[in-house]
Structure formats: C-alpha cells, structure tokens
Amino acid sequence: MIRTILVGNEVLSSSSDAAKQIWNHLVPAMRRIKISLRAQDIRNIKVGTPLAMDALQTTFPPSNGTFRPDISTSVMVPLLNFLNSSKSYFFIDVYPYFPWSADPINISLNFALLQSNIKYTDPGTGLVYTNLLDQMLDSVVFAMTKLGYPNVRLSIAETGWPNAGDFEEAGANIKNAATYNRNLVRKMAGSNPTGTPARPGALIPTFIFALYDENRKTGPGTERHWGLLHPNGNVNVSD
C-alpha cells in the first residue's frame, strides 16, 4: 500500500544556480501531484519532500531553530502552507551522528545514542532534553513555529548510525549503530509515543536508513556503511 509520495530528496541542500532553479518548482510540483491524486479520488496518500537539517540556519538551542534566510520566505513558507493545508508531514532527514562527530568534546556520545543521563535545559523555553535527536527535531518545530506553522506534523524520513567508517571517523562502528537503532525503535515504536519535549506524546513516523550497506558508494567510509544488512544480505550484528 502506498501511503506517501515524496518529491525529490534533500532538494534544498545544494545552493548551485541549477539547484536554485529547482527550488522554485518544488512546491508547485507537489501541488500538481496532490491535485492528480484527488482527481482520481485518492485522498489517503500524503505528498511531501524530505529535507536535510542543513535547511536550518540555527539549531541550538532548539528554541533558536530558524530556517536559512535564502529559503525561509521563498520556499519554506509555501511548503509549510501546503503541508498544513493537506495535513501532510514535514519529512526530515536527521542524523545525530553528524553533529556529534563534528564536536565530540562538547556533545556526549551517549547523548547522541539516546542513552544518556545528561539533561540539558533550553534557556529560552525551560524544556529539558535528554538526547540529541529530540533537540534536533524540536529545532525544526521552533523554526516552523517562527514562520506561523506550529502544528505541522513531523516524520523522520531518514535516521541511523554508521556501522563502520574510515580510521579517522571515530564512533562509526557496529556497537554504536546497534545501540542507536535499538534505542530509536524503543522511543518511536513504543505503545505510548514519547514525542519530544516541545511535542510530548506526539507520534513521529520514523524510517531507519538504510536497509543495505552501499559498498559501491563513493566518499568517506561512513557513506558505505549505514545498512542493517550487508550487500549480500547477511545481517550486521553487534558483538
């Protein structure tokens, strides 16, 4: 059963002249797809687009979350208007691994792996955070709120943790990947959704990236090692 149609993938992450031309066509394309679905009396399929966290200008503290100025008015406002009116989701690709790996001194590994006893209080709201994922998600919530759309629902289009990487890519290993994914499932698939501090109890549909390692992918070693399975189908397991 098809439940969602996603248009593009992280379309706003590239700022080349060619990419910026695509930005202007993103929401109109989504509208046309929605109109086509309704013309066929199909009303239970959501239309959206997955965005990366780089769509935000600021993410910390979460209450300071804002979208980039080059897309805030021209792209995000029409996008949020469409998602709100069609009761769709804001699809976000969110990887705690990346901010942790960029600043492992100031960000606890356990905080990123969803298993920390650390508590961080947002000075702007008084909301208490116990993991990095919630901080990242709520920065999106506050960014949407600043544009006048506080109620658009979130869906995690991609999240995960690399199970291997190059020598200098510390923290990318099977143990951490298993820990993150296990804690993620407990948080998001429990009988009582926990939501986030800004949206307690909210159900957040979540998809783990990825099913398979991509052994032919170029770039840093982590790019090839996000899968739950090896390319041959064998399971990536923790010691």
Separation CA 145–CA 40 (nearest Å): 33
Residue 231, SS3 per DSSP = coil
Catalytic residue from among 10, 168, 214, 223: 10
For the question of residue 223 being annotated catalytic, the response is no
Instruction: Kindly state the helix (H) or strand (E) to which residue 46 belongs, with its residue range.
Output: strand 46-48
Residues 6+ apart with CB under 8 A from 126: none
* Mode of pairing for the β-strands spanning 153-159 and 89-93: parallel
Burial of 86 (0-12, 13-18, 19+ CB in 10 A): middle
Structure tokens at 37: 């679905």
Choosing from 158, 168, 169, 214, the catalytic residue is 158
Return the active site residues.
10, 158
